[in-house]
RNA sequence: GCGAAAGUGGCGGAACUGGCAGACGCGCCGGACUUAGGAUCCGGUGGGGCAACCCAUGGGGGUUCGAAUCCCCCCUUUCGCACCA
């Protein structure tokens, strides 16, 4: 008997799958299609257990659908632009491209060794010009449609390194590299107008039933739609101030206005007033506050009186204008009306600075709750002609009044902001724009794409955009008028790269278009997309946005690219995410060496359902190793004895019939668990049960000799059951399953073998066990023919000596009623 | 603070539509085979009485013939957002 040696089995099958191109699909599907996608990795150097889990889940689905006869698009690629490559370059003097390409080679090898069924001919890497030229092309299309524009934006700035910092590079308010306190600076940046699609992005969420509820909720909150109104407050001796409010029904209680310290008129409002020096000091302090602190809700409220007054357009009363640190410039208009009686924040602020508090909402039952009263109940009071209205009616009436008198209008605001894509980084897609002194900002001619990332740059981690250090890159002549002009030296946010890559897989070699639209029409939407919950908001929002834009560009994209989304949980060790800094990393390569790829796959799939976090456990993986060896031994022991046995659909022996039932029931369970429920852990549990049943029927230790003395039908059923075992295992442990298939004498490839249908006759049993309850408590069980009616079950209960006394205490006189669920349960209710 | 998800044996988890709680695996206990076992196989394993029975799915209430599952309140944990006017 040979040992189970994954180190010799696995590479052989990997070679066969690759040589026979088992997982390559035609550009246009010829059979029913299934697009199975996993989030592409950043090529950091090594795959980790999180990747293994993510890709193992996708691989089960892809392999299963291949066997079910689908044309399965199951591609893999590399999200290969990004900061780590640049840092590696700075630290080790290696070019980012060299570092990235070498990592890709290593990681591809690791994925192959895991036995994942990718169509590698479609592999892409986003740092390659043949890919990123289409980022540039999309950018230009968006620019032409007004979807890309320039604007000032505050960025994190390290004065020591003289460089822009990404949010991740700001640690507790200081520069990650040199520890200097990070300040803010305004720079001209490129933006994509995702807000144009805000309403559609929100509306579609209602229909996205294939997405996890929590992701839908997160996206809805992120879009953050609120209905309200703009109101202009006249300012004494100045231009009116516009505020946004969702609570215009409380406007009669507005006792102050508050401006964000970042509001463009904050400085002007107080010019010449007696408060000028106080305001100046306040603004100065605000500007110097560390970035992290500035946005925190726990921050103490603070403000300063501007010295000016505005007029409430509804009441005509004079109210002070304050500048307050809790007012955000980024939302609404950067100015608010303060209604302390009906807003927690305004209340806190008014209390702090002793501003008046005026109740204008009452419940009308004489038991008005204490202020601030912020719920949506009640009616207006002290609100002039609008008094006595329910909140909703008051809002309508007041907006109408403001519109009629031309000092306000109803409006919808979104929390979602336009997407700033400029990065002052090297390792990204160059933004294909040219700054011409005569024509302004113009796009590079499409025939000149791609704008190649220059090689002759200095990477120091200091200073502005690295592309500026190239002696040749920025010098260009204007594509419109020909005069000397300057090339844009910023690069794109790498989220651009990952927003549409799943379309490029369809047509990765296309040199004249990002892809052929008819291919998108044939393959989209993606049937199953699997990835980490960390991308629930940004990546998936951008991907949806891009898909809408691509649809509107006539590229055959559906508005929503992903039909079903699965977010797998994290892989933990010792209760914490595996990370280098914690030193709790388990390397997939070590696991392959120790247990093999199949066992590693089985473990990550068995230990927890896909959506839950998975706690790594060494003894847990031992259990799966044992299981794999059990499978191996039972196949190895009986393969010779069962080879060539004809099928036996209706064995006469009880044990053989029982085994055949078990095999076909397992097939049904596994099929349903994978296809409908995506409960991969219970699918594996079902296969384990089948293996246990096989051992009970024909222990491996007795081997071929014992089987040779058994009836033909035993050998036939054993052979069939072993084949079903191989089939059921094929998506999870494909190498072991393929090897078993071959041992059993099958000449075709299991990976592309047709997934069988269970024999319906084996799914039903002649008799069923019906649970007998008294008043809902289990009192026993009876065996009855399947489909038996209530009377027969009661007869069975009466003929059971033990049950009779419990169920019919005085011959049945006190039975109030019975509840019968056919083939399942009989509940006898006995009156007290 | 707001929002979402989850809470089941010693552990990971199962129980699909309200119908036998604890599938499957780990661990543990016992047995077989053995010079030996950290290999393998077989059996046992929620708790209490050790028998018929009783108790048990974070806690408390409710709906129901029947609740891990549905409803209400509370507790705990995790995640997301965090002054969004």
Q: Average pLDDT of A155-159? A: 78
Quote the pLDDT of residue A459.
86
Q: Rounded to the nearest 10 degrees, what angle do helices A49-67 and A597-606 cross at? A: 90
Instruction: Kindly report the number of other CB atoms within 10 A of residue A495's CB atom.
Output: 18
Distances (CA, A) of A515 to A147, A431, A790: 21, 21, 64
SS3 A573: strand
Whether nucleic acid strand B comes within 7 Å of the CB of A260, the answer is yes
Q: Rounded mean pLDDT of chain A?
A: 90
SS3 A15: helix
Whether nucleic acid strand B comes within 7 Å of the CB of A594, the answer is no
The counts of H helices and E strands in chain A are 25, 34
Whether nucleic acid strand B comes within 7 Å of the CB of A249, the answer is no
- Of all nucleotides, the one whose C1′ comes closest to residue A669's CA is B16
For the CA of A673 and the C1' of B67, the distance in angstroms is 25
Quote the pLDDT of residue A168.
62
Whether nucleic acid strand B comes within 7 Å of the CB of A216, the answer is no
pLDDT-derived band at A97, boundaries 50, 70, 90: very high
CA dist., res. A324 & res. A305, Å (int):
9
For the CA of A343 and the C1' of B31, the distance in angstroms is 73
Chain B footprint bases within 7 A of protein beta carbons: 1, 3-5, 12-16, 19-21, 23-27, 39-43, 53-54, 65-67, 79-85
Q: Average pLDDT of A480-487? A: 94
**pLDDT beyond 80 at A128:** yes
**pLDDT beyond 80 at A670:** yes
Across A295-345, the runs of DSSP E, i.e. the strands, are 303-311, 318-324, 335-338
Closest residue, by C-alpha, to the C1' of B5: A214
Which residue pairs from A756-759 have beta carbons closer than 8 angstroms and sit at least 24 positions apart in sequence?
A756/A667, A756/A724, A756/A727, A758/A664, A758/A665, A758/A667, A758/A668, A758/A671, A759/A649, A759/A660, A759/A664
- Of all nucleotides, the one whose C1′ comes closest to residue A689's CA is B24
For the CA of A162 and the C1' of B31, the distance in angstroms is 75
pLDDT-derived band at A265, boundaries 50, 70, 90: confident
Whether nucleic acid strand B comes within 7 Å of the CB of A623, the answer is yes
Across A488-574, the runs of DSSP E, i.e. the strands, are 491-492, 528-532, 565-568, 571-573
**pLDDT beyond 80 at A207:** yes
ipTM field: 0.94
Whether nucleic acid strand B comes within 7 Å of the CB of A334, the answer is yes
Whether nucleic acid strand B comes within 7 Å of the CB of A821, the answer is yes
Strand ordering across the sheet containing A433-436: A440-443, A433-436, A484-487, A475-477
Distances (CA, A) of A585 to A1, A307, A589, A643: 36, 60, 12, 45
For the CA of A778 and the C1' of B21, the distance in angstroms is 12
Query: Which residues in chain A, range 481-540, keep a C-beta under 7 Å from any nucleic strand B atom?
Result: 533, 537
Backbone torsions φ then ψ of A593, nearest 5 degrees: -65, -40
Q: Average pLDDT of A267-281? A: 77
Quote the pLDDT of residue A223.
92
pLDDT: is A160 or A323 the higher one?
A323
- Of all nucleotides, the one whose C1′ comes closest to residue A333's CA is B85
CB A211 within 8 A of CB A564: yes
- Of all nucleotides, the one whose C1′ comes closest to residue A416's CA is B84
**pLDDT beyond 90 at A54:** yes
For the CA of A799 and the C1' of B18, the distance in angstroms is 30
Closest residue, by C-alpha, to the C1' of B16: A677
**pLDDT beyond 90 at A266:** no
CB A504 within 8 A of CB A494: no
- Of all nucleotides, the one whose C1′ comes closest to residue A297's CA is B83
Token pair of A213, please? Answer: 């509820």
Instruction: Kindly report the number of other CB atoms within 10 A of residue A649's CB atom.
Output: 12
- Of all nucleotides, the one whose C1′ comes closest to residue A225's CA is B84
Query: Which residues in chain A, range 772-791, keep a C-beta under 7 Å from any nucleic strand B atom?
Result: 773, 775-779, 781
Query: Which residues in chain A, range 552-591, keep a C-beta under 7 Å from any nucleic strand B atom?
Result: none
Q: Average pLDDT of A336-346? A: 93
pLDDT-derived band at A291, boundaries 50, 70, 90: low
Whether nucleic acid strand B comes within 7 Å of the CB of A301, the answer is yes
For the CA of A528 and the C1' of B11, the distance in angstroms is 32
For the CA of A329 and the C1' of B39, the distance in angstroms is 70
Tell the burial category of A725 from Cβ atoms under 10 Å away from its Cβ (0-12, 13-18, 19+): buried
Distances (CA, A) of A294 to A64, A300, A302, A569: 51, 10, 12, 32
Quote the pLDDT of residue A763.
87
**pLDDT beyond 80 at A581:** no
Whether nucleic acid strand B comes within 7 Å of the CB of A816, the answer is no
SS3 A819: strand
- Of all nucleotides, the one whose C1′ comes closest to residue A613's CA is B78
Whether nucleic acid strand B comes within 7 Å of the CB of A412, the answer is no
Whether nucleic acid strand B comes within 7 Å of the CB of A327, the answer is yes
Token pair of A718, please? Answer: 């054993």
- Of all nucleotides, the one whose C1′ comes closest to residue A327's CA is B83
Quote the pLDDT of residue A411.
93
Quote the pLDDT of residue A454.
94
CA dist., res. A726 & res. A744, Å (int):
9
Taking only the tens place, the pLDDT of each residue in A766-808 is 778 888 888 888 888 888 888 888 888 888 888 877 777 777 7
Query: Which residues in chain A, range 391-410, keep a C-beta under 7 Å from any nucleic strand B atom?
Result: none
DSSP structure string for A430-464: BP-EEEETTTEEEEPPGGG---PPPS-----S-SS
Query: Which residues in chain A, range 88-147, keep a C-beta under 7 Å from any nucleic strand B atom?
Result: none
Query: Which residues in chain A, range 228-247, keep a C-beta under 7 Å from any nucleic strand B atom?
Result: 228, 244-247
Closest residue, by C-alpha, to the C1' of B33: A701
For the CA of A604 and the C1' of B21, the distance in angstroms is 26
Helices of type H across A193-343: 198-205, 213-223, 266-269, 276-288, 291-294
CB A614 within 8 A of CB A675: no
Across A359-500, the runs of DSSP E, i.e. the strands, are 361-362, 379-380, 408-414, 419-420, 422-423, 433-436, 440-443, 475-477, 484-487, 491-492
Q: Average pLDDT of A108-115? A: 97
Instruction: Kindly report the number of other CB atoms within 10 A of residue A380's CB atom.
Output: 25
Quote the pLDDT of residue A564.
93
Taking only the tens place, the pLDDT of each residue in A638-647 is 998 888 888 8
Whether nucleic acid strand B comes within 7 Å of the CB of A700, the answer is yes
Taking only the tens place, the pLDDT of each residue in A11-42 is 999 999 999 999 999 999 999 999 999 999 99
Whether nucleic acid strand B comes within 7 Å of the CB of A665, the answer is no
Whether nucleic acid strand B comes within 7 Å of the CB of A257, the answer is no
Question: With b meaning 16 or more CB within 10 Å and e meaning fewer, what string describes A689-705?
Answer: ebbebbeebbebeebee
Whether nucleic acid strand B comes within 7 Å of the CB of A607, the answer is yes
CB A686 within 8 A of CB A724: no
Residues in a beta bridge with A823: none
CB A728 within 8 A of CB A690: yes
Residues in a beta bridge with A440: A436
Quote the pLDDT of residue A76.
98
Taking only the tens place, the pLDDT of each residue in A169-195 is 666 667 777 777 777 788 899 999 999
**pLDDT beyond 80 at A676:** yes
Taking only the tens place, the pLDDT of each residue in A502-542 is 999 999 999 999 999 999 999 999 999 999 888 888 899 99
For the CA of A819 and the C1' of B65, the distance in angstroms is 6
CA dist., res. A558 & res. A562, Å (int):
9
Helices of type H across A556-617: 588-595, 597-606
**pLDDT beyond 90 at A616:** no
CB A442 within 8 A of CB A436: yes
For the CA of A270 and the C1' of B5, the distance in angstroms is 49
Whether nucleic acid strand B comes within 7 Å of the CB of A284, the answer is no
């Amino acid at each position: 008997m040979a040992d189970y040696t994954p180190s010799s089995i696995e590479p052989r099958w990997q070679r066969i799958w690759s040589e026979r191109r088992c997982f390559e699909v035609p550009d246009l599907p010829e059979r029913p299609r299934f697009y199975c996608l996993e989030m592409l990795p950043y090529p950091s150097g090594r795959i980790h257990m999180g990747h293994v889990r993510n890709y193992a889940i996708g691989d089960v689905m892809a392999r299963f659908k291949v066997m079910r006869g689908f044309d399965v698009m199951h591609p893999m690629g590399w999200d290969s632009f990004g900061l780590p490559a640049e840092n590696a370059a700075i630290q080790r003097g290696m070019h980012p491209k060299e570092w990235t390409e070498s990592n890709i080679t290593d990681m591809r090898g690791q994925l192959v060794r895991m036995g994942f069924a990718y169509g590698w001919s479609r592999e892409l890497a986003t740092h390659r010009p043949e890919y990123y030229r289409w980022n540039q092309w999309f950018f230009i299309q968006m620019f032409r449609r007004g979807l890309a524009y320039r604007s000032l934006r505050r960025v994190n700035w390290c004065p020591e390194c003289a460089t822009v910092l990404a949010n991740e590079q700001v640690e507790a308010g200081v520069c990650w590299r040199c520890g200097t306190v990070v300040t803010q600076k305004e720079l001209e940046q490129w933006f994509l107008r995702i807000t144009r699609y805000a309403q559609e992005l929100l509306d579609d969420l209602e229909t996205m039933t294939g997405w996890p509820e929590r992701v839908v909720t997160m996206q809805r909150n992120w879009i953050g739609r609120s209905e309200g109104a703009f109101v202009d407050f006249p300012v004494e001796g100045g231009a009116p101030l516009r505020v946004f409010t969702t609570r215009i029904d409380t406007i009669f209680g507005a006792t102050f206005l508050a401006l964000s310290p970042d509001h463009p008129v904050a400085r002007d409002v107080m010019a010449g007033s007696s408060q000028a020096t106080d305001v100046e000091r306040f603004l100065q302090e605000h500007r110097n506050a560390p970035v992290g602190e500035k946005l925190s809700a726990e921050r103490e409220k603070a403000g300063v009186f501007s010295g000016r007054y505005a007029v409430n357009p509804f009441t005509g009363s004079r109210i002070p204008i304050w500048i307050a640190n809790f007012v955000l410039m980024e939302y609404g208009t950067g100015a608010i009306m303060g209604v302390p009686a009906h807003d927690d924040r305004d209340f806190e602020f008014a209390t702090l600075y002793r501003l008046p508090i005026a109740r204008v909402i009452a419940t009308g039952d004489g038991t008005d709750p204490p202020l601030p009263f912020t719920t949506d109940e009640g009616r207006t009071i002290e609100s002039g002609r609008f008094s006595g209205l329910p909140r909703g009616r008051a809002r309508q009436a007041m907006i109408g009044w403001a519109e009629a008198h031309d000092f306000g209008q109803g409006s919808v605001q979104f929390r979602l902001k336009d997407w700033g894509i400029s990065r002052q980084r090297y390792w990204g897609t160059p933004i294909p724009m040219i700054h011409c002194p005569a024509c302004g900002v113009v796009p590079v001619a499409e025939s000149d794409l791609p704008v190649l990332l220059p090689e002759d740059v200095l990477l120091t981690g200091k200073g502005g955009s690295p592309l500026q250090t190239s002696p040749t890159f920025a010098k260009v002549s204007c594509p419109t008028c020909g005069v000397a002009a300057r090339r844009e030296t910023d690069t794109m946010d790498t989220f651009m790269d990952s927003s549409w890559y799943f379309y490029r897989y369809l047509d990765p070699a296309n040199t004249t278009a990002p892809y052929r639209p008819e291919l998108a029409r044939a393959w989209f939407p993606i049937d199953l997309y699997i990835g980490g919950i960390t991308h629930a908001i940004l990546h998936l929002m951008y991907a949806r946005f891009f898909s809408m834009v691509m649809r509107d560009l006539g590229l055959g994209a559906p508005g929503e690219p992903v039909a079903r989304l699965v977010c797998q949980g994290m892989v933990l060790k010792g209760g914490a995410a595996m990370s280098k800094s914690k030193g709790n990393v388990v390397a997939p390569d070590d696991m392959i060496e120790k247990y093999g790829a199949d066992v590693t796959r089985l473990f990550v799939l068995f230990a927890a359902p896909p959506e839950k976090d998975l706690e790594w456990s060494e003894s847990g993986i031992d259990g799966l190793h044992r299981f794999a060896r059990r499978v191996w031994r039972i196949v190895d022991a009986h393969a010779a004895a069962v080879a060539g046995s004809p099928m036996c659909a209706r064995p006469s022996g009880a044990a053989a019939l029982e085994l055949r039932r078990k095999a076909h029931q397992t097939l049904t369970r596994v099929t349903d668990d994978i296809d409908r429920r995506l409960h991969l852990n219970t699918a594996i549990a079902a296969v384990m049960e089948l293996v246990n049943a096989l051992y009970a029927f024909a222990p491996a230790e007795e081997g071929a000799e014992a089987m040779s003395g058994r009836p033909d039908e035993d050998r036939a059923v054993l052979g069939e059951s072993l084949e079903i075992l191989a089939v059921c295992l094929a998506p999870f442990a494909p190498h072991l399953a393929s090897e078993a298939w071959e041992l059993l004498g099958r000449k075709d490839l299991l990976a592309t073998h047709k997934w069988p249908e269970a024999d319906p006759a084996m799914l039903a049993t002649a008799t069923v066990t019906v649970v007998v309850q008294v008043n809902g408590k289990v009192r026993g069980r009876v065996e009855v023919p399947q489909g038996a009616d209530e009377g027969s079950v009661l007869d069975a209960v009466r003929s059971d000596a033990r049950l009779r006394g419990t169920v019919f205490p005085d011959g049945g006189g006190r039975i109030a009623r019975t509840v019968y669920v056919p083939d399942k349960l009989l509940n006898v209710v006995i009156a007290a």
